[in-house]
Amino acid sequence: MDSISIKVLFFGKARDLVGVGQKDVDILHSNLKANEFLEIIISKFPRLEEIKSSTKLSLNEEYVEMNDVLSLKSGDEIAVIPPISGG
Amino acid sequence: MAHNLTNSEIERYSRQLIIPDYGIESQNKLKSSSILIIGCGGLGCPSALYLSTAGIGRLGLVDDDTIEISNIHRQIAHDENKIGISKAQNLADRCKALNSLVKYEVHNILFTKTTALNLIEQYPFLFLSIYCTDNVITRYLINDVCVLLGKPLVSGSALKFEGQLTVYNYLNGPCYRCLYPTAPPAHAVSNCSDAGILGPIVGMIGSLQALEAIKVVAEIGTCLNGRMMIFDGFDFLTRIIKLRPRQIETCLMCKSVLSRENLTKKDREEILENFDYIEFCGVSNYNDKSINISILSDKKRINCSDYKNFTESHLLIDVRPKCQFNICSLPNSLNIPFDDFVYNEEKVVENIRDKLGNEKSIFLVCRRGNDSQLAVEILEKHFNDKEIKDLIGGLQTWSKEIEPDFPKY
Ligand SMILES: [Zn+2]
């Protein structure tokens, strides 16, 4: 089976930890939970472990809960959005 | 239609009155509304200026801080001849110069459980803009009080090149706690004085907060309740993320409000009193200044004047990020950012072993003397025959006590 290419955006602290704002990530299965997807990107960018407990994920501009099963297809966009609080 | 605007108000607000979707009805509602702005910094300045010129009836301004020179690049209502003056007072003065028809109220206070409830109660609409703060307690506290009082909260935040904007607790939209039921760990949240912030970013988010506040008050358009705008000014990217609706089952505050009819003042006080914010947030106080920690015993530390008089040859390592090291550094210091200690420990140790030669002492320095202590703990494991100490208070103290010409930032 072909891999599925997901566009991942990193905001706030996640961007600092990864070093770039955007990366394409290939996954093998289309059906997985949001927290499983987070584990996949943490395995590629281990420093993201730091924000694992506080970050939110969105799929195609819609927030998802960590227990939600995502049904992903190539070209989908997932954003990693930790809270920010300056101003 | 009937309205209560004077001729001079009609003339003053004419350019917004003639927008068909705004009109005199909206102006009327603005005139009879009050807004409280919490935080008179980078976000609070533009939002207060615009709400004032737009003709809000009454504007409350909250901040317990005073103006510093390092605020001015982004806090555009504060001038360089007002250093040391109350931010709330100065912002009120600037607004008054733009529109004297508005009633201004200055609150030079720190938010605590009691002050928050009493103050927010006096304002039908609330408009939040927390200034540079890593203080999660204040964020949750303001949110909770708004939920208990049923007031919408226009929330903005900004850091580096990024901003976030949303309207909490409005219509069926979630509150801050619905979205973030557990507080982020303190180390995962950065503040402006440590991470930095660019003026136009807060300028934009603060202006948009004023826009959302006007729409909430005038009941026009489509607000950002239930959605969050995320703006990345570095790559110029905007995303509007759809949020889940209010979490009646799981959100502690929304649940307690909706499960009971007509909360009394006493009920609210009780709910707030029973919630341990300090434990929930894992931080020690309501103040949001960067604090100095002390984890090493005294014999593993050296103060600035003893270091100045230390004449033996040694290795001095500066653990600040490279971009701060480039601003200023002590002569002969070697820059190894603290991040490298954490993520590349082996390489760092190898590098230090290389540079160390026969030196008997290693000193570590950073901006305030926090990371340098953590770096001492890491190096101790690898160099147990060396004297390893951190410079107490870091370069800030060095600049204050030893070398006044050393740059402050
Ligand atoms: Zn809630």
Query: B279 and B286 in contact (C-beta within 8 Å)?
Result: no
What is the whole-number distance in angstroms between the Cα of residue A6 and the centre of ligand 1?
A: 31
Closest partner CB to B235 (pick from A21, A65, A83): A21
Closest partner CB to A11 (pick from B136, B205, B230): B230
Query: B251 and B178 in contact (C-beta within 8 Å)?
Result: yes
* Beta carbons of A84 and B159 less than 8 Å apart: yes
Buried b (16+ CB within 10 A) or exposed e, A28-51: eeeebebeebbebbbeebebbebb
Query: B192 and B160 in contact (C-beta within 8 Å)?
Result: no
| pLDDT at position B20 | 97
For residue B391, list its beta bridge partners: B302
Closest partner CB to A12 (pick from B162, B197, B243): B162
Query: B238 and B230 in contact (C-beta within 8 Å)?
Result: yes
A30-39, A47-56, B25-34, B57-66: least confident range: A47-56
Q: Give the position of tokens 């007072």.
A: B89
What is the whole-number distance in angstroms between the Cα of residue B48 and the centre of ligand 1?
A: 27
Q: What is the mean pLDDT of residues A6-31?
A: 94
Task: Tally Cβ neighbours within 10 Å of residue B153.
Answer: 25
| pLDDT at position B130 | 59
* Beta carbons of A63 and B241 less than 8 Å apart: yes
Q: What is the ipTM of this complex?
A: 0.93
For residue B192, which residues of chain A lie inside 8 Å, CB to CB? 86-87
**Under-70 pLDDT residues of chain B:** 128-134, 186-190, 283-292
What is the torsional sign of CA B123, B129, B131, B132? positive
Amino acid at B302: I
Domains and their CATH numbers in chain B: 33-281 (3.40.50.720), 298-401 (3.40.250.10)
Query: Angle at the Cα of B225 (from B221 to B230), degrees rounded to 5?
Result: 100
Domain chopping of chain A, boundaries: 4-81
Shortest CA distance to A84 belongs to which of B190, B287, B199? B190
For B247-296, the DSSP string reads: -TTT-HHHHHHHTSSS--HHHHHHHHHHS-HHHHHT-S-S--SPPPP--S
Shortest CA distance to B315 belongs to which of B398, B374, B381, B375? B375
SS3 state of residue B216: helix
Q: Which residue has the higher pLDDT, B135 or A79?
A: A79
B58 token code pair: 């009454």
If you measure CA to CA, which chain B residue comes closest to A85? B157
- Please give the Cα distance from B23 to B158 (Å, whole number): 32
Interface mutation target, options B162, B231, B343, chain A, most CBs of A under 10 Å = B162
* Binding site, annotated residues of B for Zn(2+): 175, 178, 251, 254
| pLDDT at position A31 | 93
| pLDDT at position B285 | 56
For residue A9, which residues of chain B lie inside 8 Å, CB to CB? 237, 239
What pTM does this model have? 0.90
What is the whole-number distance in angstroms between the Cα of residue B278 and the centre of ligand 1?
A: 19
| pLDDT at position B74 | 96
- Please give the Cα distance from B161 to B209 (Å, whole number): 17
| pLDDT at position B195 | 83
Shortest CA distance to A57 belongs to which of A43, A47, A67, A49? A67
B322 token code pair: 């490279």
CB pairs under 8 A between A and B: 107
Residues of B forming the active site? 192, 366
Looking at the domain A4-81, which fold is it? Ubiquitin-like (UB roll) (3.10.20)
Residues 172-201 of B with CB under 8 A from A: 179-180, 182-185, 187-192, 195, 197
